Amino acid sequence: MFQFIIRRILQTVPVLFGVTILVFFMMHLIPGDPAQVIAGEAANEEQVEQMRERLGLNDPLYVQYGTYLMNALQGDLGDSIRSGREVTAEVSSRFLVTFELAFYSTLLSIFIGLIAGIISAVRQYTFSDVGIMIVALFGLSMPNFWLGLMLMQYFSLNLGWLPVSGWGTPDRIILPVIALGTAGAAIIARMTRSSMLEVINQDYIRTARAKGVKEKYVIYKHALKNAMIPVVTVIGLEFGTLLGGAVLTETVFSINGLGRYIVESIGARDFPVVQGSVLVISLVFVIVNLLVDISYRFLNKRIDLN
């Protein structure tokens, strides 16, 4: 196990290195001059040139990348071009909000998706199975921003039960989490159903039933545990997707999260913020995938991670 973890950590180094290269050079392909943005539209050419020199934008790209990479290895992601604050401080405050949003949404997806998937598999081809899969299809098809607007219209404006926007208190968390977690719940439900149906038809399940083992033990102790491996994989990928793709939900509910901050920074040509934010999200995504791989060993002792 220890060797596997060390090997996977070492494998993340080239991945993160590739992420820094890709994001750095893609940002420089975006039209617009950050020096002009900071100096203002009324600035003359000399003022813009001075700003470019101060920001180091006159250096060759490989020099700029080398400087960025060396600073990043020391934990320094640079300063925001817009605010002048350290990117580490800016990203940390926003990342915590996005992480909470993605985490709660994933928990909701797991809770709804597992229950729906198990019921659908156990009652295959019944009204419950068909109904759950139809609902899952709708949940998968609905854009989260549209669902968020509908939730706001009904629960906030019509009924007045919940706040329209914001984050931090329990009543403000409910609607964004539902809007963001619905699609994930649909994906997990479909995967759970498919995996459970494959396991239920195995010989050892039929043997357990033939021995008179209670059905709930057959389903939850024998079948579900062995069916969870592909489901756990989907859960890990879903959490990473929510972490990096929560921008629409954050925008609809006016949440000051990292996704919304990245989009604003791209518009302002704030290179350090975008690069630092994507690097942090990539690092967390890699860690989540590592935890998913380790969980395989606990779900199935026959899997050798070494």
Structure tokens at 141: 């098809």
d(CA 43, CA 6): 52
- Tell me the CATH number at 196: 1.10.3720.10
d(CA 210, CA 215): 11
Say yes or no: 56 and 200 in one domain. Answer: no
Task: Please check whether residue 81 lies inside any domain of the structure.
Answer: no
- ∠ CA 219-133-207 to the nearest 5 degrees? 20
Q: What is the pLDDT of residue 171?
A: 87
Say yes or no: 103 and 69 in one domain. Answer: no
Q: What is the pLDDT of residue 110?
A: 93
Indicate the pTM of the whole model: 0.83
**β-bridge mates for residue 86, sequence order:** 79
d(CA 113, CA 187): 7
Strand, coil or helix: 163: coil
Task: Please check whether residue 84 lies inside any domain of the structure.
Answer: no
Domain ranges, residue 16: 2-73
Say yes or no: 142 and 255 in one domain. Answer: yes
State the total domains in the chain: 2
Task: Please check whether residue 45 lies inside any domain of the structure.
Answer: yes
Contact predicate 162/174, CB 8 Å: yes
Q: What is the pLDDT of residue 86?
A: 85
Q: Write the burial class of residue 249 (CB in 10 Å: 0-12 exposed, 13-18 middle, 19+ buried).
A: buried
pLDDT digits (tens, 9 = 90+) for 165-195: 888 788 889 999 999 899 889 999 999 999 9
Contact predicate 257/101, CB 8 Å: yes
pLDDT reading at 56 higher than 70: yes
Say yes or no: 64 and 172 in one domain. Answer: no
